[in-house]
Amino acid sequence: MRARRASGGREGELLRSASKLRHSVDPLIPKLGEECPTDRFDKLRAGLEKVREFRDDKARLDKVSRWEDDLVRAYAGLLSFYLEPELPGVLVAPFPGGEVSFAPLGSAPKEAQIAVQQFADPKRLMIGYLSWARKGYHFFATPDGLYCSGPSAKPPGSFLRSQLEDLPYRLEPTRDGRVECTHLAHREPVPWVAVLWPGAERVFRVCRACAKSDRQLLASISRGVAVPDPEKAFPVEVSLNVDCRGGPGCVHHSVPELPRSLRKSYLFGRLSDAELIDAYRAEVRPVLERSRTPVFVAGGVCYGNHRSEFLDALRPTPEERKALEETLPEVAGLFEVDEPAASRVLEKLWPTHAEKIVSAIVPDPAEAERLVREARASPGRVSELLRRAARETHEKTLLRELPRYESLAPEAVFVDAVARSFRSQGAKAAEKQLLQTLPREGKQRGIGYGLLIALDQERPHAWQFTETDRQFGQSLAPLAKRALEVPSGEYHEALAALLGAAGVTNWGVRA
């Protein structure tokens, strides 16, 4: 404890408290639940009433303040101060909920003096009953007073209602007695910390995404509670919350429980919610990494050493799959990503497998080497660069599958350019290519309108075409759609059919 100078305001507070307690000792006695035995409280009340009889006899009060029950002694000291208000220096005592100041009025323990001097605050009054709690009593401080349920651990309803309002997180009550964050309520696979309260038949859980480094769920739940054994009354659990599909031999089936050292540190307020989860993950990670076989985890789902199932869950493009099939066999031990995305896995593999990843996606050695250099120069853009490379490679592959032509007629050049844009980059790119190369006159306009119908984009542009162009285009639309969508091996025949129907003869020679 440390001392500090008393103020006039503190003296006035003590005098007001003493004045109220001179009239009644009721504010010092908790409200008793149905299962709470009354004998000890009756004895306490009798001792307090005896002191109140001597409220105007300072000599008797000073004598009582040196013996009797702790709360009785503290009560006598306060009433004695009322008769001769000479305030000594104020002492500051540390408690789990913070520092509390009090005036040393007599020889009673600090807990009893705080309770009597600040009885109007149920949490401060409860401090005087901490020794009772250690002997088997349960106390609950609510805004409307201090309650005692005796040996029963069940809290009063008013305490539970006020507790939900004071929690440090937005938690949702569920039907099965859990009170948890939105992510866990929606069964998202995120690591969590849980505080169990068997006495209230409740479990409070918050996930790592919500947990803060300056908040503690246990402190919030147990605030205003005094119980015989806090560790037993509020068990703490931490879980990686992994959905293990790797089979009974997977390392996730035998993850160690929360170590007692971490549990104690959390109980004594030395770890926050976020710090406890992170410390537990750091504790068990070496165990997971010592696995003799690969352990693939994505988005909270463990696939054990089932590489093909893990790969399917990533939903890779053909190029990404090829790169992953080249590199994943070299993975050993725990391999974990926060979401089931091929790009996230490739990004994690990049530092040690860059050349192999790029060469699997980009066939051109020179282009692959350039991309590796670019990615290493900008490490944060690896995923973006890989996506771009995969897209460009995919586009080039599609275009290489199409036939090449020599000496194409203008109408054929027009249709072929739109078709290649559609196949490599999609409908928007094809529409843009069509409008940019559409001539002011000629058969291309009717063919163009037919292509717009095939792309389902004719309405916004109908005003740009004559009635003749539109009628001509409508007749060509089925053939235009086929030219856009047929497999690459049938493209030449589909292109010839469209141009033939449009009356374009000798339109080109296949290379």
Length of the chain: 511
Task: Residue 276: name the closest of 312, 319, 239 by CA.
Answer: 239
Q: pLDDT band at 314, cuts 50/70/90?
A: very high
Q: pLDDT tens-digit profile of 173-183?
A: 888 789 999 99
Q: Which two tokens stand for residue 507?
A: 């339109």
Residue 31 in this model has a pLDDT that exceeds 80: yes
- Report yes or no: 484 and 422 within 8 Å, Cβ to Cβ: yes
Residue 46 in this model has a pLDDT that exceeds 70: yes
Average pLDDT over residues 208-213: 94
How far, in whole angstroms, is CA 106 from its chain's centroid?
A: 51
Structural domain boundaries in the chain? 2-150, 157-289, 295-399, 402-510
Say how far apart CA 98 and CA 252 lie, in whole Å. Answer: 40
Say how far apart CA 395 and CA 384 lie, in whole Å. Answer: 17
Helix or strand (DSSP H, E) at 11: helix 8-23
pTM of the model: 0.68
pLDDT at 478: 96
Residue 379 in this model has a pLDDT that exceeds 80: no
pLDDT at 8: 52
Q: pLDDT tens-digit profile of 446-497?
A: 999 999 999 999 999 999 999 999 999 999 999 999 999 999 889 999 999 9
Q: pLDDT tens-digit profile of 262-293?
A: 999 999 889 999 999 999 999 999 888 888 88
Per the model's pLDDT, the better-predicted residue between 15 and 394 turns out to be: 15
pLDDT at 3: 47
pLDDT at 380: 55
- Report yes or no: 398 and 423 within 8 Å, Cβ to Cβ: yes
Dihedral angle of Cα 303, 305, 311, 313, to the nearest 10 degrees: -10
Say how far apart CA 384 and CA 435 lie, in whole Å. Answer: 30
